[in-house]
Copies of this chain bind each other. A is one copy, B any other.
Amino acid sequence: MTVSRVLRNRGDVSDSTRERVQEAARRLGYVPNKIAGALASQRVNLVAVIIPSLSNMVFPEVMTGISDTLEDTGLQPVVGVTNYSPDREESVLYEMLSWRPSGVIIAGLEHTDAARAMLAQAGIPIVEIMDIDGTPVDSAVGISHRRAGRQMAEAIIAAGYRNIAFLGTMMPHDHRARKRLEGFEEALAKAGLSLVDREFYSGGSALLKGREMTEAVLTRSPQVDFLYYSNDMIGAGGLLYCLHKGLDVPGQIGLAGFNGVELLDGLPRKLATMDACRLEIGRVAAEIIAGKHPSGTIGGEVIELFPTLQKGDTIRG
């Protein structure tokens, strides 16, 4: 018992005893068994983080926000990856909940019924991140992708572009990309416009795909004067293609992506984009789990963040 107290810095232990214990622990290479500890204390210092992908550049940054915030709370993030599959999400969630974490941070608002039920029943703080266009189980932190799409469309129309094409991923379960497109088309419609062309891809090097898709679109629909990409990576590929072809950007043709990845800073011309507040989302989600969020209330909150539109060098005006 005294050993337990020393190793957890809890309760009163005399200095001499404390030192003897620490010395012995060091000498024996003793590592306490958290499994037993957790079972006895009914407390687990783990936070489940469930995200669709790591190869995306966006989720690693969310992770950074989470890790940094959790750093000095004694909580530890544990990552699960779903590959954009709802079934996989469900099983990863089940697996993680069975370790009784202190909280769950999960990307998106769309889950299987079973997953929603598990989340609702877990009795721990749940934070759904990235997106707020929908009904969260508990708390949510993110941006409105529908609004983001709308804003971009409005900026494009205001700049005078009229023949607009969309280029994006073909992932049935990437709801955020879908919502952006929906918002985008909605704003186009309001201005009496509609997409002139659209092109989808899946898999492969995003930069290369952006290049190829752009070529395909411009060949098929030469009248296009704006290319809206569902992410910065394919947008960057498209930009490199346009510059290579000697097109006048943004005079003759404009481009925009989404995410605000730092990659863009190194491009010959800065791609228009909207940052997705990734770091901030991670930070706030972690604060909610750690009970540190200034809002103070206990869960059930939707925190909307507002991305800023960066026009870069690829939208006129």
Residues of A within 8 A of B (CB): 29, 31-36, 38-39, 44, 54-55, 57, 60-61, 63-64, 67, 76, 78-81, 94-95, 97-100, 117-118, 121-122, 204-211, 236-237, 240, 244, 262-268
Contact of A35 among B32, B76, B99, B209 (CB under 8 A): B99
Residues of B within 8 A of A79 (CB): 78-79
Given contacts A54-B54, A208-B266, 8 further A-B contacts (CB under 8 A): A35-B99, A39-B39, A67-B81, A204-B262, A206-B266, A207-B262, A207-B266, A240-B266
Q: Smallest CB–CB gap between A273 and chain B, Å? A: 13
Can you list 23 A-B contacts with CB-CB less than 8 angstroms, sorted by A residue number?
A: A29-B121, A31-B97, A31-B118, A34-B100, A35-B39, A35-B99, A35-B100, A39-B39, A55-B57, A55-B60, A55-B64, A60-B60, A63-B81, A76-B80, A78-B78, A204-B265, A205-B263, A207-B262, A207-B263, A207-B266, A207-B267, A209-B266, A240-B267
Q: Smallest CB–CB gap between A233 and chain B, Å? A: 8
Residues of B within 8 A of A100 (CB): 33-35
Q: Complex: how many Å from CA A117 to CA B28?
A: 11
Residue of B nearest to A237 (CB): B266
Q: Complex: how many Å from CA A35 to CA B99?
A: 6
Residue of B nearest to A95 (CB): B76
Residue of B nearest to A30 (CB): B121
Contact of A61 among B55, B121, B208, B240 (CB under 8 A): B55
Residues of B within 8 A of A76 (CB): 80, 95
Contact of A63 with B54 in the complex, beta carbons under 8 Å = yes
Q: Complex: how many Å from CA A215 to CA B265?
A: 15
Q: Smallest CB–CB gap between A158 and chain B, Å? A: 29
Contact of A33 with B98 in the complex, beta carbons under 8 Å = yes
Contact of A265 among B208, B244, B265, B268 (CB under 8 A): B208
Q: Smallest CB–CB gap between A94 and chain B, Å? A: 7
Q: Smallest CB–CB gap between A244 and chain B, Å? A: 6
Q: Smallest CB–CB gap between A126 and chain B, Å? A: 14
Contact of A210 with B54 in the complex, beta carbons under 8 Å = no
Contact of B268 with A244 in the complex, beta carbons under 8 Å = yes
Contact of B29 with A205 in the complex, beta carbons under 8 Å = no
Residue of B nearest to A117 (CB): B29
Q: Smallest CB–CB gap between A128 and chain B, Å? A: 19
Residues of B within 8 A of A33 (CB): 39, 98, 100
Residue of B nearest to A59 (CB): B54
Contact of B211 with A266 in the complex, beta carbons under 8 Å = yes
Contact of B34 with A265 in the complex, beta carbons under 8 Å = no
Contact of A207 with B265 in the complex, beta carbons under 8 Å = yes
Residue of B nearest to A32 (CB): B98
Residues of B within 8 A of A55 (CB): 57, 60-61, 64
Contact of B266 with A205 in the complex, beta carbons under 8 Å = yes
Residues of B within 8 A of A267 (CB): 207, 240
